[in-house]
Every structure is written in structure tokens, then in C-alpha cells.
Structure 1
Amino acid sequence: MGSWISDTRKRIYRNVKYCLTRPAPPVAPFEFKGPVVVVGSAPVSHKPTGLNDEFSIITVNGSQSVITSWGVDVPHITMMMFNQVDGTTPNAVEVRRVLKGQRTGALYVFLWRKDARGRLEDGLRAFEYSYEHLHIVDRYERMALLDRVAGLRSLELDADSKCSNGMNAVLFALYNGAPAVIITGINPNSAGHVYNEAGLKRQHAHMDKMLVERLIKAGRPIYTADPAVSNELGIPLWNR
């Protein structure tokens, strides 16, 4: 009974706040003039065909470890969940391990308190992760991404009602005018992460699949560099 009441209050509060504040989605630090590659942390990923300086690269959490094999040291943008900065879960510990001493162009941290920026900077400094620009994205700005790009309203009450960080990066690229978005290392049907051997089950799989289907039907310019993902989800394979 208590849980039902709590969920109802949360649903009403978030819906009212979203409608009243009318938040804008996060804005990219520069114009996307070429394709945007969104790199997830699924165990299998591929360097997109034709990758060159005209492409922009967005990494998610610890997936920055993937692009070093492509000859790319610094992504243009990194998106990170708040708990990766100081969390104690095995995945958070591994993310900090692979990112230690690395850097990015613009860092977007999801769901960190905006009035605690100093603590965020200290947390990033603790594992020597540096950036040129730091942005904090709150829940309502993230909700606005899904709403504006895909026409879906989610109050983010549970894991099944949220999309993954990788798909949020796809929405971010589309919202900010990317002429093409190429995903790699993002597969809702897979388990585990490329940077550890824990084999953790992927959350948000149902929402991610629904979102991919919706974007394809809407004619959005999304592609994948992963043949298996193309076959399983019907995303066009990038081969330009």
C-alpha cells in the first residue's frame, strides 16, 4: 500500500514539474557537421567504415576504452551516470578503473545534483578524469530528450520506463542535428560490458528496443556498425 502511494505521489510530482518547467534537452557544445558515432559498452563493437576527422564520437561511461584501438585517444563528448563517479558497485569501480587518467572534450553527467558541482569536480579529480567542458543533466532535461526526439513521455519511475545511457546519447545527437548517427557496442539483447567480465544483465532492454523501432519508423538517420545488431533489430548497417 505504502509503495503504491509513494509511486503515485512521485508520478504526480514529476508530471506537474515537467509540465510547469518545460525543460529543454541538453545542447551540444558544437555543431555536428558530419556523422556522430555513439559508442556503447556491449562486449562486441566495430569501428565504423570511413571513420575520419569529420565524424564526432560520443562515448558512454567506460566505453572510452573501446576507441583507443581505433587510434582515437579523446572522444568529443562523454556521457556518464552520476553513480559512476563515486559509486561502489562492481561496474562503477570498473568504469573508474578504465577511465583513470583519461580525458574527454565535453562531459555530460546525468542526475548529479546541480547544486553539488564542486563535489562532482572533486570526484572526477579523484580518478584523474579531465574534460574541457562539464555539464550536469537533470532528470527533467533527460525526459525532454525522449519527449522532443521520439515523442515519448516517461516519468522514469523504474528501469523499464527508462532508456539506456547509450540510447540517450543517440537522442542527444539527433536532437542536436546530427546528419547521421552510427551506434556500435549498443545491443539490448547482449549481456556484460567490454571493460569487465561480470556479465551483468543489461537494463532498459525493452525500452531501448521500442525506441529503436520508433526511430526507424520515423525515418530518423540511425545506423549501426554491428552486423548482428542490424540483423536482430533491423537498424540499417553503416557501410559508406
Structure 2
Amino acid sequence: MQQSQSKGIRAQLKDIKTGFYRKLKYRLLRPAPPPFNGRFSGPVVVVGSAPKSDKPVGLDETYTIFTVNGSQSVASKWGISVPDLTFMMFNQVEGTTTNAQEVRRVLSGTRTKSLYVLLWRRNEIDRLRNGLKAFDYNYDELTIVDRYQRMALLDKVAGLASLELDADSKCSNGMNAVLFALYHGAPAVIICGINPNSAGHIYNGVGLKRHHVDMDRLLIERLVRDGRPLFTADPDVSVRLGIPLWTGSLPS
């Protein structure tokens, strides 16, 4: 009993120390969100990997397609073989979890235009390139996004602060892609296959529990409350989360 309490206290002290360090570093660095060299000629579609997703109304070449980890397999069913931008978490490249292995399986032999890898060490770029090459995933541009750039996205777009001490205090990669699009001036962002109430991923049948549920809900509520041009292509998500349903027209 005492040993368990001692471990708990040590963990709490570690979190306090880590939190203080990250807060101080964020204030000193004053980081900007991840850069983007392109421009949007129409809506941005952020494709997630929830088991159910609906194709946005009016989808055509004027829409910009963002995918997240293995959700490129969803876009490919809509005839989009090469997304404009992909957000990938670092552990998908070499990880041994079921999800990481499934992501590599569905992405093998495919490509994206711009690949943003989150939380990979910048001094190990060659290792990253080799890891991507190992499962034959290709890209035109490769960008590494560090923790403080990700924290800046949440701060600058939604006015929320997170020291990212655990999964519950972070938003999902899909919602980070939403923040990225909004920060860089997307006239509308349409989410599909992003549902905090769901479990599992469309590209495997394991039914893995989703993380970041509470933060995703909080973030969606904040964006909708603030009148951000956030929409969903999924009718059920629209009803349950109060996100306007995309009907094919940009907001006036």
C-alpha cells in the first residue's frame, strides 16, 4: 500500500516538474504553429478514421483533402489516391502496436503531397525517411511538427492551453488538422470520420478505444461557439455534437 502511494506521489511530482518546464519553455519560445506554403481555393476536408464517414456534398477538385494516419484509405474510396496533406503521429512509422501496424499496412505503396509528422525528433530526419521508405510511403514534402508548435495551434486558434501531460489533455491528430486548416485561412473545414463518440478505426476490426475524447469535444464546442467555419459531412455527428452539416456551399 505504502509502495503504491509512493509511486503515485512520484508520478504527481514528475507531472508538476514536466508541466512547469513546458509552460516556461512555451512562454520563452513563443512558437508559431506549423507552417504551410500553400493556399486554399475552396473548403478543406479533414478525413478521419472513425468506422463511419460520409463523403462531403459537392466534393470536387476545388476541395483540399487532409488525411490523418491511415484515413487515406477512406479518401481513396472517393477516388482521391493522393491527398494534399497528411498528418501522421511519430509512432505510426516504427511502432509495434496493432494500430501502427495497420496504418503502415493500408498506407504501403501510396503517397501524399505534404507529410507532417508529429513529435519526431528533428535530429533524426534520416531515420524518419528510412522508416517511411521501409513501408513504401512516399511524399513530395516532409515536415516535422514539434510539441510546442502543436501547443501553439490549440492556443492561437481556440484560445485553449494544454501542457500535454496525458492523453486526456491533448486533442486528436484529426482535430489538430482542423486547427491547422483554420489557422492558415481555410474558408470552411469539413470533418468526416471524426467522431469523439465512436470507437475503433475503419481500416481494422480491432475496435480500439479512442483517446482524446474529452478534449476533442471541448474543442469542437469552442470552435462552434466562436462561429468558426467548422462543418461535418456526417449527419449523426452533426446531431450529436451540434456541428453544422455541410450542404455544399461556403458560408457567406
What range is the shorter-chain TM-score in? over 0.9
The one-letter amino acid of 1:41's match is S
Separation in structure 2 between the aligned mates of residue 116 and residue 24 of structure 1, nearest angstrom: 22
Alpha-carbon distance between aligned partners in 1 of 2:82 and 2:103, rounded to the nearest angstrom:
16
Once the two structures are aligned, what percentage of the paired residues are identical? 65
1:166 aligns with 2:174: yes
Q: Distance in 2 between matches of 1:27 and 1:33?
A: 18
Give per-residue Cα distances to partners, 1:84-128, cap 9 Å, x unaligned.
000000000000000001000000000000110000000000000
DSSP-derived class of the 1:44 partner: coil
User: CA separation in 2, counterparts of 1:102 and 1:234?
Assistant: 35
Which stretches of structure 1, 4 residues or longer, exceed 6 Å deviation after superposition? none
Query: Which residue is equivalent to 2:222?
Result: 214
The DSSP-based 3-state class of the residue aligned with 1:29 is coil
Q: Structure 1: which amino acid aligns with 2:122?
A: K
1:181 aligns with 2:183: no
Superposed displacement of residue 68, structure 1: 1.2
SS at match of 2:112: strand
Per-residue deviation at 1:20?
A: 0.2
- Residue equivalent to 1:2: 10
1:234 is aligned to 2:242? yes
> 1:73 is matched with which residue?
81
SS of residue matched to 2:227: coil
User: Tell me, which stretches of 5 or more residues in structure 1 are unaligned?
Assistant: none
Cα distance in 2 for residues equivalent to 1:21 and 1:9: 18
Which residue in 1 is equivalent to 2:63?
Answer: 55
Q: Could you give the per-residue CA deviations for residues 123-142 of structure 1, whole angstroms, max 9, x where no partner exists?
A: 00000000000000000000
Q: For residue 182 of structure 1, give the secondary structure of its aligned residue in structure 2.
A: strand
Are positions 1:91 and 2:91 aligned together? Answer: no
Question: Which AA in structure 2 matches 1:192?
Answer: G
Local SS of the residue matching 1:32: coil
Contact 1:37 1:57 in 2 (8 A): yes
C-alpha separation between the residues in 2 aligned to 1:25 and 1:47?
Answer: 29
* Structure 2 residue identity aligned to 1:171: L
Note the C-alpha offset of 1:46.
1.0
Alignment of 1:113-192 (within 5 A): 113-192=121-200
- Structure 2: 5+ residue runs without aligned partners? 1-8
Taking structure 1 as the reference length, what is the TM-score of the superposition?
A: 0.99
What is the distance in 2 between the residues matched to 1:33 and 1:16?
Answer: 38
User: What's the TM-score, normalizing by structure 2?
Assistant: 0.94
Equivalent position SS for 1:183: strand
Contact between 1:29 and 1:106, CA under 8 Å: does it hold in 2? no
CA drift at 1:32: 1.2
Letter in structure 1 aligned against 2:126: G
- Give the letter aligned to residue 211 of structure 1: L
- C-alpha deviation, 1:212, in angstroms: 0.3
Q: Does 1:19 align with 2:27?
A: yes
1:50-86: per-residue Cα shift (whole Å, max 9, x none)? 1111100000000000011111110000000000000
Q: Does 1:44 align with 2:55?
A: no
3-state DSSP of counterpart to 1:97: helix
